[in-house]
Amino acid sequence: MAGSGPHFLVFANEKGGTGKSTTAGHAAVALAAQGRKVAALDLDTRQRTLGRYLDNRAASIQRLQVVLPMPVYETFDPGRGETLDAVIARLSADAEMLVIDTPGRDDAYAREAMARADTLVTPINDSFVDLDLIGEVDPETYRVRRPSFYAELVWNSRTQRAKSHGASVDWVVLRNRMQYVEAHNMRRVGAALGELSRRVGFRVIPGLGERVIYRELFPKGLTLLDLHQIGGASIAHVAARQELREMIAGFALPDAEPSLAPLRAAAGG
């Protein structure tokens, strides 16, 4: 990708509580662990979840005096007088991947980031509450009635990018917390997503489980790839690490190694 600018990996969902920022943070670190030059940008000036997570990681690196994969990162603040274009240009200067986390609400800067996406990731919890963001479902048949406003927004962003850059956008819907959903409901959600994906044009991949582990790692800014820095790592940690590896592989990013050998080497296993 040399000379063509970074690949934009944008995490967007107008609904909060879907694990969007957690997923974005782990993805940014995992890609850095592959040896890529990664930059990360948090557009949620109020919550700053991604920015605070990476602040915590930088502090852990300093405190423990260890070398860990670390992306370059910033939190965008329009109050500083710098445009989003200028911030993106600065972060893009030496980056192979630019990971952008958007606010969990409709936002002008989020829309601008979506219009730049090469890979657009929409995390959802595996429920009809979250599915409603993408499409309206019939309460009797559980068939999809129509795409939602958000699906139309994504469609317009993809159309805009195709016109301005002549490039397609890979829209990925990430099913988080699948392990904790009743099986019959999970099948219904899966069937509705499958139907909607054919109509709207997105891929569906499994995401991260509802694990206390992810919340516990936040204060230190660690990921499951840092097991050698986590005292008392358990079988649950190893299983969660595999979820992360499979999620990164599912993004099907350019030049990614399907075997994720660099990830295993960086993770120490």
Which of the residue ranges 120-124, 166-170, 238-242 has the most confident prediction, judged by mean pLDDT? Answer: 120-124
Tokens at residue 197, please? 């994906």
Residue 23 belongs to domain with CATH number = 3.40.50.300
Domain-embedded: residue 169: yes
Confidence check: pLDDT of 261 > 70: no
pLDDT tens sequence across 118-135: 999 999 887 788 888 888
pLDDT tens-digit map of 2-22:
447 899 999 999 887 788 999
**Spatial distance between the Cα atoms of 171 and 22, rounded to a whole number of angstroms:** 19
**Does residue 89 contact residue 56 with C-beta atoms inside 8 Å?**
no
Output the average pLDDT for the chain: 86
> Would residue 29 count as lying in a domain?
yes
What's the average model confidence in pLDDT over 82-97?
A: 95
Query: Is the per-residue pLDDT at 184 higher than 80?
Result: no
Q: Is 92's pLDDT higher than 80?
A: yes
In a domain, 151, yes or no: yes
Query: According to the model, what pLDDT value does residue 258 have?
Result: 41
Q: Number of folded domains in the chain?
A: 1
State in Å, rounded, how far the first CA of the chain is from the last one. Answer: 28
Place of tokens 């995401």: 207
Q: Is 1 inside a domain boundary?
A: no
Q: Distance of CA 17 to CAs 20, 94, 103, 166, 240, Å?
A: 7, 32, 11, 34, 19
| Three-state SS at 98 | strand
Query: Residues near 166 by Cβ (< 8 Å), separated by ≥ 6?
Result: none
In a domain, 205, yes or no: yes
Which band of pLDDT confidence, cut at 50, 70 and 90, is reported for residue 89? very high
On whether residue 206 sits in a domain, the answer given is yes
Q: How confident is the model at residue 257 (pLDDT cuts 50, 70, 90)?
A: very low
Which residues, 6 or more positions from 159, have their beta carbon under 8 angstroms from its beta carbon?
Answer: none
Domain that holds residue 235: 7-267
**In the prediction, which pLDDT does 255 show?**
75
pLDDT (average), residues 138-150: 84
